[in-house]
């Protein structure tokens, strides 16, 4: 490698460290307007190339005002984690090694890292050891994978080979949820040809839990193949469905249970909060994210399926030019990653997960979960104690909802106004939502960087926004 390249990489690492070091003092919200960003980046297509160092330096300069500070400790919007240092550094190496994590043969070390990370995750999250797993881009494609496995199994039970025959003429597959499911479930249904109309909400009114009596009635009334989709952590309230009871009802009717635990499944690692997940191990498939509460960089979703044959039957592919590796010592054959996800060529996204788990350990992950939950409670209590604030939903785990009451009675408009002021203030970032018909401010804590001081600064920022 020539000296120019080495200088470029050293310099880039310094840019990255400078960015991270600046997170405490830069505004959390981007300050550049859309027009400004288009002007900055919208150069004519270059005919000739530029020096790499200049490209990188200008990228750093040009993005500076247009980045959201979601990697920092005072970002509480959506459910967006940060990156623990070991995972971020491992992510750089993953890009550097540039292994194609489709096949064991295309990168044996990262393929085995994925095998081990998958086994560790099952142990951490309390999922059955026999479950198969896949590392996807996010929970969205993890849902797609899990529901494809469900579709395979439920239709095979009725003598229908969906991979060969397709869906035309097949029995419709029902999907039963609380009605508070994340929109990614419906999109997975659309992509799989199940059809969004097959979704049935059997919820228990405001709140977001599945209604067990309604679920039992619905399962008894329909003899269609059915998936019961439960939630570990509803996006607004963080509520958990009653897994054990729902799984028993589903099992009695031959239904498949899928759990969306994009962030909430991680509560199972904590001794304090693990009880919320009682019975979750009885489901048939589970989705979670690495890029939320585990704090690995984007993009990392995780899917687990109790029935490896259904998982593999839905996803596996063979082509004559691929190389499938056997273990020369007579152990289990190598695991080809493309058998378990909808993707072919892909980055080795298990590497940052492996690094995060090694650097934190089970105790460190549990402490991260507990700390975020404590911060969420402190944030909701601190903001809730300010004048004119109504707490709509105190945290079950790391999510809470508040709203801001207006003297003129237009609480929705006032709530959006206050959220806007907090965001523009740059000290902290919260997002809005509509919950049970009213506008609310969502409080979500999943970043490993958030500390007590960040919580104090965020509460002070809301106080300042309330006084105009």
Ligand X SMILES: *Cc1c(COP(=O)(O)O)cnc(C)c1O
- Asked whether position 343 contacts ligand X by CB under 6 A, the answer is no
- Asked whether position 247 contacts ligand X by CB under 6 A, the answer is no
Task: Specify the residue, 184 or 389, whose C-beta has the smaller distance to ligand X.
Answer: 184
- Asked whether position 400 contacts ligand X by CB under 6 A, the answer is no
- Asked whether position 263 contacts ligand X by CB under 6 A, the answer is yes
Task: Specify the residue, 94 or 140, whose C-beta has the smaller distance to ligand X.
Answer: 140
Task: Specify the residue, 288 or 462, whose C-beta has the smaller distance to ligand X.
Answer: 288
Separation of alpha carbons 87 and 444, rounded Å? 21
What residues have CB less than 8 Å from 76, skipping those under 6 apart? 379, 428, 429, 430, 431, 442, 443, 444, 445, 458
Tokens 């004048």 appear where?
387
Which tokens hold the place of 235? 């996006």
Element (H, E) at 215: helix 212-221
For ligand X, the binding residue among 82, 107, 203, 301 (CB under 6 A) is: 301
For ligand X, the binding residue among 30, 138, 342, 395 (CB under 6 A) is: 138
Q: List for the chain the helix, strand, coil content (%; round to 5).
A: 45, 15, 40
- Asked whether position 289 contacts ligand X by CB under 6 A, the answer is yes
For ligand X, the binding residue among 186, 216, 260, 281 (CB under 6 A) is: 260
Q: Judged by CB under 6 A, which stretch of 30-38, 136-144, 192-200, 345-353 contacts ligand X? A: 136-144
- Asked whether position 79 contacts ligand X by CB under 6 A, the answer is yes
Which tokens hold the place of 174? 């029902």
For ligand X, the binding residue among 124, 127, 154, 262 (CB under 6 A) is: 262
- Asked whether position 349 contacts ligand X by CB under 6 A, the answer is no
8 A C-beta contact, residue 388 and residue 405: yes
Q: If we measure between CA atoms, which residue out of 153, 187, 188 comes closest to residue 311?
A: 153
Q: Judged by CB under 6 A, which stretch of 35-43, 138-146, 222-230, 348-356 contacts ligand X? A: 138-146
For ligand X, the binding residue among 86, 106, 235, 366 (CB under 6 A) is: 235
- CA angle at 84 for the pair 364 and 9, rounded to the nearest 5°: 150
Q: How many CB atoms lie within 10 A of CB 283?
A: 27
8 A C-beta contact, residue 315 and residue 341: yes
- Asked whether position 210 contacts ligand X by CB under 6 A, the answer is no
- Asked whether position 140 contacts ligand X by CB under 6 A, the answer is yes
Catalog residues that contact ligand X under the rule CB under 6 A: 79, 138-140, 182, 184, 233, 235, 260, 262-263, 289, 301
């Amino acid at each position: 490698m020539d000296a120019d390249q080495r200088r470029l990489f050293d310099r880039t690492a310094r840019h990255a460290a400078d960015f991270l070091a600046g997170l405490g003092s830069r505004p959390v919200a981007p300050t550049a307007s859309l027009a400004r960003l288009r002007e900055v980046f919208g150069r004519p297509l270059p005919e000739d190339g530029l020096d790499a160092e200049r490209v990188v330096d200008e990228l750093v300069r040009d993005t500076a005002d247009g980045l959201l500070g979601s990697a920092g400790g005072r970002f509480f919007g959506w459910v967006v984690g940060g990156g623990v240092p070991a995972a971020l550094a491992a992510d750089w190496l993953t890009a550097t090694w540039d292994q194609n994590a489709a096949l064991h043969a295309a990168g044996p070390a990262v393929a085995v890292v994925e095998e081990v990370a998958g086994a560790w995750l099952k142990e951490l999250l309390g999922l059955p050891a026999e479950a198969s797993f896949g590392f996807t881009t996010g929970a969205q494609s993890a849902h797609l994978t899990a529901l494809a496995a469900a579709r395979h199994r439920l239709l095979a039970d009725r003598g229908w080979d969906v991979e060969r025959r397709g869906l035309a003429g097949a029995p419709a597959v029902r999907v039963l949820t609380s009605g508070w499911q994340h929109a990614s479930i419906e999109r997975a249904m659309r992509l799989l040809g199940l059809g969004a109309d097959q979704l049935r909400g059997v919820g228990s009114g405001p709140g977001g839990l599945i209604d067990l009596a309604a679920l039992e009635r619905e399962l008894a009334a329909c003899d269609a193949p059915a998936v019961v989709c439960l939630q570990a952590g509803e996006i607004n309230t963080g509520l958990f469905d009653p897994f054990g009871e729902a799984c028993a009802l589903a099992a009695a009717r031959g239904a498949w249970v899928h759990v969306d635990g994009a962030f909430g499944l991680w509560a199972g690692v904590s001794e304090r909060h693990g009880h919320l997940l009682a019975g979750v191990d009885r489901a048939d498939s589970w989705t979670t994210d690495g890029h939320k509460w585990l704090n690995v960089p984007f993009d990392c979703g995780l899917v687990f399926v109790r029935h490896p044959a259904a998982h593999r039957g839905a996803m596996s592919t063979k082509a004559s030019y691929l190389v499938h590796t056997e273990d020369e010592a007579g152990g289990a054959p190598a695991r080809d990653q493309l058998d378990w996800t909808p993707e072919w060529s892909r980055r080795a996204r298990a590497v940052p997960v492996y690094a995060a788990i090694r650097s934190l350990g089970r105790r460190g992950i549990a402490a991260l979960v507990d700390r975020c939950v404590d911060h969420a409670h402190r944030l909701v209590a601190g903001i809730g104690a300010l004048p004119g604030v109504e707490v709509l939903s105190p945290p079950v785990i790391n999510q809470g909802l508040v709203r801001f009451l207006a003297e003129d009675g237009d609480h929705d408009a006032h709530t959006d106004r206050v959220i806007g002021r907090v965001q523009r203030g740059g000290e902290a970032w919260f997002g809005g939502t509509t919950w049970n018909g009213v506008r609310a401010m969502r409080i979500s804590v999943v970043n490993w960087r958030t500390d007590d001081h960040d919580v104090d600064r965020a509460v002070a920022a809301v106080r300042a926004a309330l006084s105009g």
